[in-house]
Amino acid sequence: MTQNLFSRYLPILDWGRRYDRDRFVGDIVAAVIVTVMLIPQSLAYALLAGLPPEAGLYASIAPILLYAVFGTSRVLAVGPVAVVSLMTAAAVGNIVDSGTAGYIAAALTLAFLSGLMLLTLGVLRLGFLANFLSHPVIAGFITASGILIAASQLRHILGVEAKGHTLIDISTSLWSNLYAANPITILLGISATAFLFWVRSGLKPLLEKTGLPPLLVDIGVKTGPVLAIVATTLSVWGFELADRGVAIVGVVPQSLPPLTLPSFSPDLISQLLVPALLISIIGFVESISVAQTLAAKKRQRIDPDQELIGLGAANIGASLTGGFPVTGGFSRSVVNYDAGAKTPAAGAFTAIGLMLAALFLTPLIHYLPKATLAATIIVAVLSLVDFSILKRAWAFSRADFAAVAATILLTLLLGVEVGVTAGVLTSILIHLYKTSRPHMAVVGRVPGTEHFRNVRRHTVETQPHVLSLRVDESLYFPNARFLEDQLSRYAADVEELTDVVLLFTAVNEVDLSALESLEAINTRLRESGIRLHLSEVKGPVMDRLKRSHFLDELTGEIFLSPHEAVQTLDKSSATTA
């Protein structure tokens, strides 16, 4: 019992017992590839979050180690990601000026609060709450965020100062400062961006033509950003371009992640609570989506509640080691998977590689131009932009289209916090709207069968004195009155009506409000000389009804099927006649 409990909360005890040489080799190879990719990514996302570049490395070490202990995904790579980094910049930038010690402290506090929220949700096993954020809304938010991120990085490509957290603010700021653009920075930025786009599409076929093994081809493709960094850094150093206005990374501390503490200022915490909650929601949804997608390919299982604990521990770890909010990243996780990672130990080995980079490689990036890091971000996030979701949503569901469009527009025009808040609220409102107006259908028997179908869609047999109504939704407070209104409308259209049969085929739940509505329906029909019957009532629903007085007062009967109901009521009608 105790061992199962420990294994549940410490998945490392499960996969660690089966660790062997084959898994070790696969994890080491994957770690090397992912480490190479993570170094420029981590630096770039720290830049996006408005933090010193080393913060990106720090945020990619302790969180990975902690997730390896507490997480359930074998291949999820945890660390800074574009959307969460943008949300961090938006949240902290609204409170503290960038580049100050207070900004760093606020970022640490944001990571701590996010981690605490995730951890609490995991312990309380509330992972299901993420299901209330619809995937179309998430897709819309990520698309808008990708545009915002790319726009925000144009200032580094142009070599100008620009601020803003909305598309209008960023565009206005860029336009007003365009006169100060640095031609050399523009050349470096555009060259790096073009090269990185080519690496994504053209480098792999080129390497495959050389006859290299697939593993070396993959490594070569993943090192594309590193090549851009090396080339542009050498150019800045060799031609002394920093003296000609090219912004560079500058001095990066050559050390392991420091021990840090978040701020416990009540005022700061109160200002960061809502952003922390939004970051937690978006981070968890993104992470669990990636983890479950990759796990399904190998028939592995992901525990959403334990994932909350793993991500919570990772974010708390980031807050204690100089980082900022993190989550499971799509690109790095896919690379980890494709490179052959077998267990979360691959993440631990990646963390060791990043430690070595923090200790020995940071002096080499002193002359790294910020334009190159901006190019890395732009190329990465533009792959997130997907306007086809609007077309698909419009064709499938107008309500989903409205939710996606509103999320995209609000995110672009009012910022990520407003956008994601609108997305969450819209998802919940759409759910409530749909369930508050459940589909109901008058049904009849398909000739020669015992099957009952919608009278509007099929040629069916009906009885003039019997109204069979199928309810296609669980009954609870938002739709209880709707059931009353619809039944009254249907009953009013049938002059010879003596019996109403409610088909509960799709009813999985009846709450107290719905029970009161059923009692009201029963009373009204009785006063009109009409009996109320139920059919195909599921066991859990029947158990609930038995705990009330409804069945005692029911004027009709409970039938196993609509066929049985119609046969019985036909005989009853014939006997009465």
Rounded Cα–Cα distance for residues 476 and 460 (Å): 30
Position 571 scores a pLDDT of: 64
Whether residue 529 is contained in a domain is answered as: yes
Whether residue 167 is contained in a domain is answered as: yes
- Say if residue 190 is in the same domain as residue 230: yes
* Band of residue 320 on the pLDDT scale cut at 50, 70, 90: very high
Residues 6+ apart with CB under 8 A from 381: 82, 145, 146, 149, 150
- Say if residue 413 is in the same domain as residue 495: no
- Say if residue 154 is in the same domain as residue 33: yes
- Residue numbers of the domain that contains 212: 21-429
CATH number at residue 452: 3.30.750.24
Query: Worst-scoring range by mean pLDDT, 218-222, 330-334, 367-371, 430-434?
Result: 218-222
Query: Which tokens go with 337?
Result: 């998977």
Q: Name the burial class of residue 294, with classes exposed (0-12), middle (13-18) and buried (19+) by CB atoms within 10 angstroms of its CB.
A: buried
Q: Is 573 left (phi over 0), alpha (psi -120 to 50) or beta?
A: alpha
Number of domains observed in the structure of the chain? 2
* Band of residue 5 on the pLDDT scale cut at 50, 70, 90: low
Domain edge (last residue) among 429, 461, 487: 429
Whether residue 176 is contained in a domain is answered as: yes
- Say if residue 421 is in the same domain as residue 447: no
Domain edge (last residue) among 404, 429, 454: 429
Whether residue 196 is contained in a domain is answered as: yes
Higher pLDDT, 255 or 335: 255
Rounded Cα–Cα distance for residues 552 and 542 (Å): 13
Q: Mind listing the pLDDT tens digit for each residue in 18-62?
A: 788 888 888 888 888 888 878 888 988 998 999 999 999 999 999
- Say if residue 286 is in the same domain as residue 314: yes
- Say if residue 151 is in the same domain as residue 79: yes
β-pairing, 531-535 with 558-559?
parallel
Domain edge (last residue) among 429, 458, 475: 429
β-pair partners for 501: 468, 533
Whether residue 357 is contained in a domain is answered as: yes
* Band of residue 1 on the pLDDT scale cut at 50, 70, 90: very low
Position 174 scores a pLDDT of: 93
Q: Mind listing the pLDDT tens digit for each residue in 480-513?
A: 888 888 888 888 777 788 899 999 988 999 999 8
- Say if residue 362 is in the same domain as residue 217: yes
Q: Decide if pLDDT at 84 tops 80.
A: yes
Chain centroid to CA 383: how far?
16
pLDDT averaged over every residue in the chain: 87
- Say if residue 424 is in the same domain as residue 475: no
- Say if residue 245 is in the same domain as residue 348: yes
Q: What is the dihedral of CA 447, 448, 450, 451, to 10 degrees?
A: -40
User: Got the DSSP string for 108-173?
Assistant: HHHHHHHHHHHHHHHHTT-GGGGGGS-HHHHHHHHHHHHHHHHHHHHHHHHT-----SSHHHHHHH
- Say if residue 314 is in the same domain as residue 381: yes
**What is the DSSP code (8-state) at residue 257?**
P
Position 577 scores a pLDDT of: 43
Position 119 scores a pLDDT of: 94
Position 214 scores a pLDDT of: 74
What H or E segment, with its residue span, contains residue 467? strand 466-471
Whether residue 5 is contained in a domain is answered as: no
Position 207 scores a pLDDT of: 77
| Cα radius of gyration (the chain) | 30
- Say if residue 330 is in the same domain as residue 414: yes
Position 572 scores a pLDDT of: 59
Whether residue 435 is contained in a domain is answered as: no
Query: Worst-scoring range by mean pLDDT, 197-201, 335-339, 384-388, 397-401?
Result: 335-339
Position 259 scores a pLDDT of: 93
β-pair partners for 453: 444
Q: Mind listing the pLDDT tens digit for each residue in 265-301?
A: 999 999 999 999 989 988 898 888 888 888 877 777 7
Residues 6+ apart with CB under 8 A from 214: none
Q: What is the mean predicted confidence (pLDDT) over 299-319?
A: 90
Whether residue 11 is contained in a domain is answered as: no
The fraction of the chain above a pLDDT of 90, given in percent, is 37
Rounded Cα–Cα distance for residues 22 and 26 (Å): 6
- Say if residue 201 is in the same domain as residue 262: yes
Of 312, 275, 291, give the one whose Cα is nearest residue 49.
275
Rounded Cα–Cα distance for residues 118 and 130 (Å): 11
Chain centroid to CA 213: how far?
35
Packing angle between helix 416-436 and helix 398-414, nearest 10 degrees? 160
